[in-house]
Amino acid sequence: MRNILVTGGAGFIGSNLTLELQARYPEARIVVVDDFRSGDFKNLRGFRGDVVAGDVSRLDWAEQFGDRVFDGIFHLASITDTTVHDQFLQVHDNVEGFRRLLAFAEPNQTPVVYASSAATYGMAGGKQVEDQAPAPANVYAFSKVQLDNLAREQAARNPAWRMVGLRYFNVYGPREVHKKAAASMIYQLYLQMKAGKRPRVFRAGEHCRDFVYVKDVVALTIRAATAPRSGVFNCGSGVAISFNEVIAALNGCLGTALEAEYMDNPFAHFYQSFTQADMGRARAELDFTPAWTPALGIADYVRSLEAQS
Ligand SMILES: NC(=O)c1ccc[n+]([C@@H]2O[C@H](COP(=O)([O-])OP(=O)(O)OC[C@H]3O[C@@H](n4cnc5c(N)ncnc54)[C@H](O)[C@@H]3O)[C@@H](O)[C@H]2O)c1
């Protein structure tokens, strides 16, 4: 890949992706588009490419990039705080940004990899499989379902054009500090425990999540750019672990014995109690198997956090 565009490249996953692309393709020209509403320039320290400060849902793509042809577009820009309930804002900024990007990519049929979300599965229990019906429980998830719908419709009209959506599960890892309250629970619990406090989780700590390490997320996102067909793919670790198990892993890494403090869940009406990605499709069609189990990923992440503190 010689010409690459990354939207949302100042964010958590986007910056990890951008810096990995730069390392893998040192000759490539990489452009990041980000409006910094939740991202942070500090995530892009060491980036040698071009940064366009722009809102993807308002940008005039043709004016900005002219007839420049990209070999691949990675679209991660999105409102990512799921507690933003302004329905117009979430749907406008997330969906119109993607619509404009697709209109720009269509003439050259530039391969597009975009961030969908496990949130599209809603409250459904059990292993989440790509073909199950979407059941968005909040407007953020609803906006991601619209991305999947738009891509599916475009793919049906343009069978040769590849558009791949990745349903990221709960991503954790370096460069998420700027997300503050929206950062992963693994980071939140680490911070509390590092400060010597008992880690606070919703009663009784048995909600399960598929926590996926950002290094696996980046690897699958790059792999998806050469997918043989359009479609959506889960992007998780394939393993569900409870918050109690996360706390146990963090205690092990930090050498502490802090017990969980349980609290009532104020978001019970739209809170997923169990998420686990079925990674069968990614394995079969993209030849991808996650390299980081939760235990290995948490240990690697804590090592990097401790090295900075
Ligand atoms: N982190 C997760 O666990 C997770 C899970 C599921 C899906 N996702 C998706 O992955 C993508 C990246 O998420 P993240 O965790 O890195 O979050 P993030 O908030 O760190 O990154 C999002 C980036 O997009 C930028 N942005 C937002 N709206 C924009 C707009 N209209 N125009 C230009 N830039 C804009 C922000 O400034 C930020 O840099 C998002 O699409 C998110 O919905 C993330």
Q: Please say if 179 is a catalytic residue.
A: yes
The mean of the pLDDT values for the chain is: 96
Ligand 1 pocket residues where CB is under 6 Å: 7-8, 10-14, 33-39, 55-57, 76-80, 93, 97, 115, 117, 168, 170-171, 179
Residue 46's pLDDT is 97
pLDDT band at 270 (very low <50, low <70, confident <90, very high): low
Q: How does DSSP assign 252-298, residue by residue?
A: HHHT--PPPEEE--TTGGG--SB--B--HHHHHHH----S--HHHHH
Residue 82's pLDDT is 85
The rounded percent of the chain whose pLDDT value lies above 70 is 100
Give per-residue pLDDT as tens, 200-258: 999 888 999 999 999 999 999 999 999 999 999 999 999 999 999 999 999 999 999 99
- Number of alpha carbons in the 13 Å side-chain half-sphere of residue 26: 1
Residue 104's pLDDT is 97
Q: In this structure, are residues 74 and 225 in contact, taking their beta carbons and an 8 Å threshold?
A: yes
CA distance 245 to 210: 12
What domains sit in the chain, N to C, each tagged with a CATH number? 3-169+214-238+277-283 (3.40.50.720), 172-209+240-276+293-308 (3.90.25.10)
Q: How far apart are the first and last CA of the chain?
A: 36
Give per-residue pLDDT as tens, 53-107: 999 999 999 999 998 999 999 999 999 998 898 999 999 999 999 999 999 999 9
Is the model's pLDDT at 269 over the cut of 80?
no
